[in-house]
Structure 1
Amino acid sequence: MGHALVWFRRDLRLADNPALKAALDAGLAPVPVYIHAPDEEAPWAPGAASHAWLHRSLLALDADLRARGSRLIIRQGDSLAEIEKLIAETKAEALHWNRLYEPASIARDTRIKQGLKSRGLHVESHNAALLVEPWTVQTGQGEPYRVFTPFWKNARQRLDATMPAGAPRRLPELPPMLAGLGVEDLRLEPQRPEPRWDAGFWEHWVPGEAGALELLDAFLDGAARGYKEQRNFPDRIATSKLSPHLHFGEISPRTIVARVLAQAWPAAVQPDIDHFLSELGWREFSHHLLFHFPHTAQENMNPRFREFRWARPDARLLAAWQRGRTGVPIVDAGMRELWHTGWMHNRTRMVVASFLTKNLRYHWKHGAQWFWDTLVDADLANNTQGWQWTAGTGADAAPYFRIFNPVAQAEKFDAAGKYVRRWVPELAKLPDAALSAPWEHADLLRRLAPDYPPKPIVDLKASREAALEAYSGPKTKPPAER
């Protein structure tokens, strides 16, 4: 039996893995390969939290492969050079991988495919990450969509309820002399004497395919009912929390959709299911935008903001935002949840992003870069479009006058203060009435929470008015034609 290299990247699963299935269907013995080459994804090489997750995800994938008679061959260095070495070592007849859609990955993969095909190797890429390929969903004029609703109306019709292929029960053994690195050799986790800043992550997450499937089962059995409304409340488990598993490809969106559509839902629950599917649609839309407008990872989607005057960042204020010391409890709670768990509830993501881009009026890239390093679901498409949506600079963005009032958001979505008290425990003794804006209760704050900032790092009312003036002024007009 001949061999085929199966190049794993962010598709770290065995079920619904088209590259793996294609190698098996061709009658070839798959050689599962992971090549660690983060520099090839510059300027958005994976951050520290992503690396911490990747360490455990690779261990899980290798264990799953070994349970089926195979193993993961890990190499490090230039991807093309390592692939060429493996082709020579295994006499592989083919190379299969699942596509990535970030600009740097597309350029790298195109170069590798063209180079190896020119030498006679069979090279094939597959879709394992998206429900619809970005080039297949277009407007009536043949253009990419820039607005979510018509995009999703088009893409929604293409959803397939067919359950994708499961994981193979057995895999061929690899040549015994074929060597690779251990996961530990990649030094993805915090290294001594650096503190284990990721320790809190693993109280909340189980990286790997099994962990993803367990979360999907839990969601379908529980939080799916009531999802549309309950998903807005950060103090409860009301979302699927599948985003990091989707990012690393430990579960496919096709599997999620097929499981959702296969279930008989009561009519009263159908709005919840439709809304959940639309959230998967937003993920698709973000990848659609990044594919068609790759410059948006670094630049504003909306050219009207090309000359916008963002405030010059104050390192002290930026650090206060990053560490959850702004003096605004709902903002601080979100940032501390992120630091401790590697994840943040979507409602608070919007609140903290609005605070940075509207109240502080800092460029959205300062937030995108911090999220990139601290999120376990740091996905370039979602991260970019999420920040541009809140900043008002992207496609289908929030209008410039939408500035999230963090006090009102806390009062509406954390009325009992459970979320704030969990992540900002120094405020736990404050009464509910003082929890959303403690600076308005200075005596209580000084007495019951002396270690918390006595007032916000920026005046919420004055900064809102300044943002409205800046966003609505002539500085947002597009530059004159040359």
Structure 2
Amino acid sequence: MSSPVIVWFRRDLRLSDQAALVEAAAKGPVVPVYVLDDETAKHRAMGGASRWWLHHSLESLGAGLEEKGSRLILRRGRCEDVLPALAKEVGASEVHALRHYEPWWRNAEKAVGKALTLHLHHGNYLAPPGSVTTGAGQPYKIFTPFWRALHERLPPPDPLYRPHTIAAPESWPESEALDDWGLLPTRPDWAGGLRDFWTPGEEGAKARLKTFAEKASRYEGQRNLPARNGTSFLSPHLHFGEISPAQVWHATSSAGGSVATFLSEIGWRDYAQNVILQYPDYGGTSAREGFDDFPWRSGGQAQEDLEAWQQGRTGYPIVDAGMRELWHTGWMHNRVRMITASFLIKHLLIDWREGEKWFWDTLVDADYASNAVNWQWNAGSGVDSNMFVRIMAPLSQSEKFDAAGYIRQWVPELADLPAGEIHDPSPMARPKGYPQRLIEHRAGRERALGAWEQFKGE
């Protein structure tokens, strides 16, 4: 029997369209491994919602491997220490993995590559990040020209079939027990809403894709209406690699109608990865020069306002509905993400990084690149971003995008209000238990514009 080959799983927890697994399976016996490496990620270790998802996704991946006569080995520690030790243990000569682009994973790949023969494959994006460049060979900073250039290289290759068989090694190394990793919340168990709403794993991803493909042609007309299920709900499945963007593309691209708008959202994922290749610390450092000196509010009342925003107690129904949806399901409608982010940054004048950290902990699709790019877009601090002085009006946004049903679902104390009141309850109609606004829209806008003028004058 030939030497075993290790397949190193990370955010690519699937058997189909998995280039590393396909290549390894063609070489001989395979030892699939997932390493829980919080040490390399440091402060970017997964948040609570992501860890809940990871537990169930690893269960799904393990079951899928067992159906093929294989198994998933679980180890915990630094990848650069764990993988060489495992290779020595099983007599493996090489490691195969899909390439990742977060700065900590790039560092880990370099370290593992010094100790072992590491083969990195493409498969988590439409095109390898860094490969779409200008005519002068420079990376794009703005989304629109990036998307135009990427689109010329599409469609992506057809997805790879999962291996028919996965040969097992002569003997299996020991594996840690998933339950011992403590990924699931217990005291308290706050994940009831996540369990009700999501089915992590490759089969859950395929079911979501099948459901969305049937309505993908109507995406443009539905995506901004939070009371309707017009979005794909594929973001956490894509983030954990339970389905590939190539699979999504080929399942939806022929739908017609406004599916092109949806496909551009898949392209936005690629764009975000290209941004963090250029700016690895994008999740914590403003891209625009001097923006880290912006006069944000902090401490005291600002801290209380931040906590009220986190808990959905701002007094703005659309904002509170979004923040409560996030806490309950680990996800938030994309239009509402923009509204809640703008409210924190501009109405409350709180540093965008506080919002980025909260989303990192509470989103099941907490992707480093997409999360950072989206927050910096809202703040006006990114390389491609909205202007700071463009301030969303949450009350009119709520009415414009017909959020009444959404508010009734997530802010039940307002459920009995008529359509004319629910977006902006008058003092007489506002239920006793519902909080007053943290700040009036006009006052918040004026404070934000004043801070902007102060920042420009410094």
Q: Which TM-score applies when normalising by structure 1?
A: 0.92
Q: SS state of the match for residue 154, structure 2?
A: coil
Amino acid at match of 2:408: R
Q: Is the 8 A contact 2:413 2:433 kept in 1?
A: yes
Q: Aligned to 1:237, which of 229, 237, 245?
A: 229
Provide the residue aligned with 1:303 in structure 2.
Answer: 289
Provide the residue aligned with 2:433 in structure 1.
Answer: 451
Provide the residue aligned with 2:389 in structure 1.
Answer: 401
Q: Tell me whether 1:475 sits opposite 2:455 in the alignment.
A: yes
Provide the C-alpha distance between the structure 2 equivalents of 1:465 and 1:176, rounded to a whole number of angstroms.
Answer: 68
Runs of 4+ with >3 A deviation: 174-177
The equivalences for 1:164-313 within 5 A come to 164-191=159-186, 194-222=187-215, 224-261=216-253, 263=254, 265-266=255-256, 269=257, 272-313=258-299
Provide the C-alpha distance between the structure 1 equivalents of 2:272 and 2:211, rounded to a whole number of angstroms.
Answer: 26
Moved more, 393-402 or 335-344: 393-402
Q: Aligned to 1:142, which of 129, 137, 142?
A: 137
Q: SS state of the match for residue 249, structure 1?
A: coil
Provide the C-alpha distance between the structure 2 equivalents of 1:396 and 1:229, rounded to a whole number of angstroms.
Answer: 25
Amino acid at match of 1:475: F
Amino acid at match of 1:466: R
Amino acid at match of 1:305: F
Q: Is the 8 A contact 2:84 2:112 kept in 1?
A: no
Shift of 1:202: 1.4
Amino acid at match of 1:28: G
- Report how many residues are paired: 455
Q: SS state of the match for residue 132, structure 1?
A: coil
Provide the residue aligned with 1:76 in structure 2.
Answer: 76
Q: SS state of the match for residue 297, structure 2?
A: coil
Q: Tell me whether 1:39 sits opposite 2:39 in the alignment.
A: yes
Q: SS state of the match for residue 146, structure 1?
A: coil
1:93-116 Cα shifts (integer Å, max 9, x gaps): 211111111111111211211232
Q: Aligned to 2:421, which of 388, 411, 434?
A: 434
Q: Is the 8 A contact 1:305 1:476 kept in 2?
A: no
Moved more, 283-292 or 84-93: 84-93
Q: Is the 8 A contact 1:343 1:376 kept in 2?
A: yes
Q: Tell me whether 1:351 sits opposite 2:339 in the alignment.
A: yes
Q: Is the 8 A contact 1:159 1:257 kept in 2?
A: no
Provide the C-alpha distance between the structure 2 equivalents of 1:258 and 1:325, rounded to a whole number of angstroms.
Answer: 42
Q: Is the 8 A contact 2:341 2:375 kept in 1?
A: yes
Q: Aligned to 2:123, which of 121, 128, 139?
A: 128
Shift of 1:92: 0.7
Provide the C-alpha distance between the structure 2 equivalents of 1:102 and 1:206, rounded to a whole number of angstroms.
Answer: 26
Moved more, 429-438 or 240-249: 429-438
Gaps of 5+ in 2: none
Amino acid at match of 2:13: L
Amino acid at match of 1:357: I
Amino acid at match of 1:302: R
Q: SS state of the match for residue 43, structure 1?
A: helix
Gaps of 5+ in 1: 117-121
- The alignment yields a C-alpha RMSD, in angstroms, of 1.4
Q: Is the 8 A contact 1:307 1:476 kept in 2?
A: no
Provide the residue aligned with 1:119 in structure 2.
Answer: none
Provide the C-alpha distance between the structure 2 equivalents of 1:174 and 1:244, rounded to a whole number of angstroms.
Answer: 32
Q: SS state of the match for residue 306, structure 1?
A: helix
Provide the residue aligned with 1:461 in structure 2.
Answer: 442
Q: Is the 8 A contact 1:414 1:420 kept in 2?
A: no
Provide the C-alpha distance between the structure 1 equivalents of 2:290 and 2:86, rounded to a whole number of angstroms.
Answer: 49
Provide the C-alpha distance between the structure 1 equivalents of 2:173 and 2:157, rounded to a whole number of angstroms.
Answer: 37
Q: Which TM-score applies when normalising by structure 2?
A: 0.96
Q: SS state of the match for residue 34, structure 2?
A: strand
Could you say if the C-alpha distance between residues 21 and 245 of structure 1 is closer, same or farther in structure 2, counting changes exceeding 3 Å? same
Provide the residue aligned with 2:376 in structure 1.
Answer: 388
Moved more, 323-332 or 291-300: 291-300
Shift of 1:170: 2.1
Q: Percent identity?
A: 43
Provide the C-alpha distance between the structure 2 equivalents of 1:13 and 1:277, rounded to a whole number of angstroms.
Answer: 22
